[in-house]
Structure 1
Amino acid sequence: MDLLEESVVPEHARDVKQQAREFAAEHIEPNAEEYFESGEYPWEVLEAGMDAGLIAQDISEEYGGSGFDLQQVLAIAEEFYRADAGIALTLQLASFGCEIVEHYGSEEQKEEFLRPVAENDQISGLAVSEPDTGSDLAGMTTSAEKEGDEWVLNGEKYWVGNAVEADWLTLYAKTGDKDDRYSNYSMFIVPTDAPGYEAEHIPEKMGMRASKQGHIVLDDCRIPEENLVGTEGGGFYMLADFFNHGRVVVGGHGLGLAAAAIEEAWEFVHGRNAFGRNVSEFQAVQHDLADMRLEFEAARSLNWRAAEKVANGEDAGFWAACCKTKSTEVAMHCAERGMQLHGGRSVLGERRIARVYRDVRIPVIYEGANEIQRNLIYRQSR
């Protein structure tokens, strides 16, 4: 059963998809259970991914990367997340936020910050959410005030991938107080060794445990004025565009997880007998597996269609919200049914289906909770 077959994948993305599949089989799958149990940061797998040319290569060739486009990144995401979501998230967060700097930053910023990430000498991160605010991008309170030739940052950020590990972050902060609340935010490059920057890991997540998120406290954190990305007040609009691309990739997270759940359930029911028959012979079981496959194929078709639409700038917000919502919720459905088909053994921590079941709860929330995505789908359908 090859649920992630390449027929729906554009030809130019098939080679990197195959590379990602081979890498996942060699480096991610064999280490998934160990890292899930330990919750440690998978440095060795990350470094292997760098050596394989699969990390931070969405940065353009001009700045040292391979220039992977949205469809190539989606192809990698499917394969990595099928193998293990926690390790996969670590690998894909290594260049998180770089797209914003590449699209809106100065040439000096791109050379100083993008090139070391593309060459795998540094890793980055993106700091948006706060302890009391997640999807409301116009409700963040972390502030940046200009003092002489510096910006002074104060506030907190939460759920920040690589908050501790990164060399620098792209950070979203309030710089204005206009009636148009969407024009009050700006983006900044914040080195993690800047004075006034403190970060610690958020401990003991229930899922994606090999990916480390952090809590940042900014206490008069000072950065040079040239670390402002693009124009002051443009941060909200930069993020809106960035998240359109990101949500397509998060859809790929869901597809990989759904594929893992279906594969596990299929293998289990075909290898188990009950009431004198193979479990797969029961019609109720067959219908469960059929429904899982139906939902998966619908989600995958939508996701790859959305990837093309977003890449071409065609109603990007609508398509990004659609595929992120559908694919992540299909992953939840498949994991839940997979757990049920496993019966009592589903609750054993050593079971892959149990890890998948925990992991699927997370993509329905990050990159904008699915309730927010439904708001976007409705508003952009009119």
Structure 2
Amino acid sequence: MELLDESVVPEHARDIKAEAREFAEEHVAPVAGEYHDSGEYPWEVLEAGMDAGLVAQDIGEEWGGRGLDLYEIFAIAEELYRADAGIGLTLMLASFGAEIVEEHGSEEQKEEFLRPIAENEQITGLAVSEPETGSDLAGMQTSAEKDDEAGEWVLNGEKYWVGNAVEADWLTVYAKTGDSEDRYGNFSMFIVPTDAPGYEAEHIPEKIGMRASKQGHIVFDDCRIPEENIIGVEGAGFYMLAEFFNHGRIVVGGHGLGLAAAALEEAWDFVHGRTAFGRDISEFQAIQHMLADMRMEFEAARSLNWRAAEKVAENENAGFWAASAKTKSTEVANFCAERAMQMHGGRSILQERRISRVYRDVRIPVVYEGANEIQRNLIYRQSQY
């Protein structure tokens, strides 16, 4: 069964897709269960991904990357998540947020901070969510105040669910810098080194899924950074993130598709060759209908996601298409995983089974990059365009 075929993939993205598949088969799949059980950070796999040219390579060639476009990053995501979502997320989070610096940062910021990411000398992350505020970007409370005398910004507050909060060399941080009636114009983006005074981070307790990826809780206690570490102009942070998440949600759609493919493959392999009541399980019409439904939903989601990738790349009502692709693909992953668990019967709950790992992993992408309930708000509001 070949689910992630290249027929819907633009021709220029097929080579990198093949590279990602070969890497996933050699370096990710064989150790996925081990890292899921241990919950350790997969440094060795990350370094192998860097050597393979698959980490942080959407950064432009002028800054040391390969300049991979949205289609190519999406193609990588499908393949990595099919092999293992936790390790796949680690590889993709190593440069998460750096694209904001490339798009809006100064030449000096790009040379000092962006180039080491592209050249795989450092890793980074993006700090947006807070303990009491999830998807409401205009409701975040972490503040950044200007100390003109010292020539610094002073950050106070907390961030939660931050990938690489402990492991990163620096983060892109979203903080409140104003208090005007325009709640969307009150936020800015900053580069915050993780060794800055007043920066404290710890790992969030173990998750049920994607255990090879580490998220953290950050406390900023009069955390001081140079005034030149603001990205772009003050007050533009919300709009920077909105643009960034349109691209990110296409890639998260790839996360869902990779997981859905894994669930479908596991279900197909399990029911063909296993007997019950004197018959091969695959001969039961109920099983055939379940597999048919899974396949139809998967193909519908994948077609939507690749169409959405084109729309976002061309900036044609990008918010609608990004939200639609992310929502459909991640929910199809849940649909496929739940039915695959049912087909596995009692064996589905065994820790050693790949399907049990997939079942836990699929619960996470429906929440990150904006919960799917928020995506439906966006889909409705932007359907008029």
TM above 0.5, yes or no, is yes
**Match of residue 361, structure 1, among 347, 360, 363:** 363
**Match of residue 309, structure 2, among 291, 307, 310:** 307
Give the corresponding residue for 1:292: 294
Offset, 1:204: 1.1
Map residues 232-251 of structure 1 onto 2, 5 A cutoff. 232-251=234-253
Alignment partners' CA distance in 2, 1:51 and 1:260: 25
> Secondary structure in 2 aligned to 1:146?
strand
Amino acid paired to 2:248? G
Map residues 79-94 of structure 1 onto 2, 5 A cutoff. 79-94=79-94
Amino acid paired to 2:312? V
Amino acid paired to 1:121? E
Give the corresponding residue for 1:36: 36
Amino acid paired to 1:53? G
Amino acid paired to 1:59? I
Give the corresponding residue for 1:195: 197
Instruction: State the Cα deviation string for residues 234-284 of structure 1 (Å, max 9, x = none).
Output: 000000000000000000000000000000000000021000000000000
Alignment partners' CA distance in 2, 1:19 and 1:170: 29
Offset, 1:203: 1.5
Give the corresponding residue for 1:178: 180
Instruction: State the Cα deviation string for residues 64-86 of structure 1 (Å, max 9, x = none).
Output: 00000000000000000000000
Amino acid paired to 2:13? A
Q: Which runs of 4+ in 1 moved over 6 A?
A: none
| 2:4 is the counterpart of 1:4 | yes
| 2:198 is the counterpart of 1:221 | no
Map residues 110-259 of structure 1 onto 2, 5 A cutoff. 110-148=110-148, 149-259=151-261
Alignment partners' CA distance in 2, 1:29 and 1:277: 32
Give the corresponding residue for 1:272: 274
Unaligned runs of 5+ in 2: none
Give the corresponding residue for 1:350: 352
Alignment partners' CA distance in 1, 2:77 and 2:53: 14
Alignment partners' CA distance in 1, 2:357 and 2:350: 9
> Secondary structure in 2 aligned to 1:355?
helix
Alignment partners' CA distance in 2, 1:176 and 1:272: 63
Alignment partners' CA distance in 2, 1:194 and 1:58: 27
Alignment partners' CA distance in 2, 1:150 and 1:271: 66
Give the root-mean-square deviation of aligned CA atoms.
0.4
Instruction: State the Cα deviation string for residues 78-132 of structure 1 (Å, max 9, x = none).
Output: 0000000000000000000011001100000011101000000000100000001
Alignment partners' CA distance in 1, 2:179 and 2:133: 18
> Secondary structure in 2 aligned to 1:253?
helix
> Secondary structure in 2 aligned to 1:323?
helix
Alignment partners' CA distance in 2, 1:178 and 1:245: 28
Alignment partners' CA distance in 1, 2:266 and 2:219: 41
| 2:104 is the counterpart of 1:104 | yes
> Secondary structure in 2 aligned to 1:165?
coil
Amino acid paired to 1:100? I
> Secondary structure in 1 aligned to 2:55?
coil
What's the TM-score, normalizing by structure 1?
1.00
Alignment partners' CA distance in 2, 1:2 and 1:168: 40
Amino acid paired to 2:12? H
Amino acid paired to 1:259? A
Offset, 1:159: 0.1
Unaligned runs of 5+ in 1: none
Q: What is the aligned-residue identity percentage?
A: 82
What's the TM-score, normalizing by structure 2?
0.99
> Secondary structure in 1 aligned to 2:58?
coil
Instruction: State the Cα deviation string for residues 316-375 of structure 1 (Å, max 9, x = none).
Output: 000000000000000000000000000000000100000000000000000000000000
Alignment partners' CA distance in 1, 2:112 and 2:96: 16
Amino acid paired to 2:216? G
> Secondary structure in 2 aligned to 1:169?
strand
Amino acid paired to 1:139? G
> Secondary structure in 2 aligned to 1:2?
coil
Give the corresponding residue for 2:16: 16
Amino acid paired to 2:354? R
Give the corresponding residue for 1:56: 56
Alignment partners' CA distance in 2, 1:118 and 1:30: 27
Alignment partners' CA distance in 1, 2:322 and 2:9: 17
Aligned length: 382
> Secondary structure in 2 aligned to 1:349?
coil
Give the corresponding residue for 1:328: 330
> Secondary structure in 2 aligned to 1:218?
strand
Amino acid paired to 2:21? R
